[in-house]
A and B are shown apart, each in its own frame.
Chain A
């Protein structure tokens, strides 16, 4: 019983983290048709920004702890915004209209550049921002002790998902964006400023990536290479859910999160294969992912 409860709790926590990481990726793909390999780097930049800012805050005269949560989010927003605008305006804008796969490679080049760029800015020593993580304490459920920060993360992730959904479904800007997702040519014909929508979307995506990194930073040691590790995970979640679908990313994250937690508790030897196994299975039966749209070419 305890382990079933543990699977549910661990699975949801992991799923909420996966969703945070994958949301930005799927938004960018949905609107811009760019599968962004550098998404992991934005995650890492968010983590580094947050960890260095929060670390600095606590090392220099302890203010109230709650400020550090604002700093976490603030660091991510600023970092995501700056990097997003620079990359979109400075690089991607030159490349629009190129082949989808070529865009993957371009972002791969960006990844190589950003990984070393971060090393130049932050070095290779670990950064920590553990105070926000340990500050919230933990809750005991029998043998199982759960970090409150992790539980809060589930809430944040759910709120973020709902917020994104509401923004897409309930606001005018969201409607325009959906039009672009649905049919770019018609959207252009209707007078949508696609260029502007691209900038907004890309910056939103990078900011989400940076936010995921910033919210993860307190629980980990921020070191070189953390971004590389999340890319394939995020890709898998997004592909499982259906590229470009927010709801799909949420379901994909839950599926992977729960499967992984179950494997850790019941069949640890399969843990390494879970994510690829789930992805292969889903794609074998639903080639476009769970919520992907099958597009029949008009002839």
Chain B
């Protein structure tokens, strides 16, 4: 197995607050990794650093064996690592279809054209396929602000996948989505991901969701990784139970330690 993403002693300090402390992570190609941890444990900071949004204080990040330290988010995206967001990052004054079309155009070229129309027939057709794949074709012409949270999350993830990334980082894909929708959403996403053969790392509060999809779990606490391994082993870990999952064997009635 080859390692796609590796971090070496990654540190991030915001003044006196330590948001990441000596993070050493190795993700292999094809893995589906879940990241758990309470709010403020440093999960999003980790994703932000890896995708170039935040500059680490110290450490090293390697993607496909090459350092991507100091690269911009767009360079890292172009290199093949995409992400989704806790709060879906869409273009609020555009329709769902247009959001996808912009993403399609971006995937085709980093230098958009000045005069040929963005909404070409080919892009519209492709966008419609994607809408179907993610089951949001009903919202084709709605403004994204008028679309339910779950669909918005799906569009957000679809836009990340349009660039055919090798690796996808999902930041709380199910946050803000009702309990009933979660599984459907995750099934849609994971189907798409498997079709593209993408390595996935996702942050999730819901332990059910985590157990259902991942092959490996990283548990964050206060900027450090306190456990790393098979889901069952990590969730059974006493420290994880003390600090992260809060003694709930599996969360049937709540949504984790959020």
Contacts and interface: CB of A to CB of B under 8 A. Distances in A.
Contacts of B54: 296
A299 B89 CA distance: 8
Chain B's interface size range is: under 10
A296 B44 CA distance: 14
Q: Is the interface of A mostly helix, strand, loop or mixed?
A: loop
B53 interface: yes
Interface in B66-125: 85-87, 89
B106 to A, nearest CB: 18
Contacts of A296: 54
A141 to B, nearest CB: 47
B239 interface: no
B48 interface: yes
Interface in A40-60: none
Contacts of A299: 44, 48, 53, 85-87, 89
Nearest to A296: B54
Nearest to B83: A299
Interface string B42-61: 00100010000110000000
Nearest to B51: A299
Contacts of B48: 299
A296 B12 CA distance: 15
A299 B43 CA distance: 12
Contacts of B87: 299
A296 B54 CA distance: 9
Interface in A231-275: none
Contacts of B89: 299
Interface in B21-59: 44, 48, 53-54
Interface string A272-299: 0000000000000000000000001001
A296 B53 CA distance: 9
B86 to A, nearest CB: 7
A299 B48 CA distance: 9
A38 B53 CA distance: 38
Contacts of B44: 299
A299 B87 CA distance: 7
Interface in A115-173: none
Given A299-B85, A299-B87, A299-B89, 4 more contacts: A296-B54, A299-B44, A299-B53, A299-B86
8 contacts: A296-B54, A299-B44, A299-B48, A299-B53, A299-B85, A299-B86, A299-B87, A299-B89
Q: Which 3 residue pairs are nearest across A and B when measured between Cβ atoms?
A: A299-B85, A299-B89, A299-B53
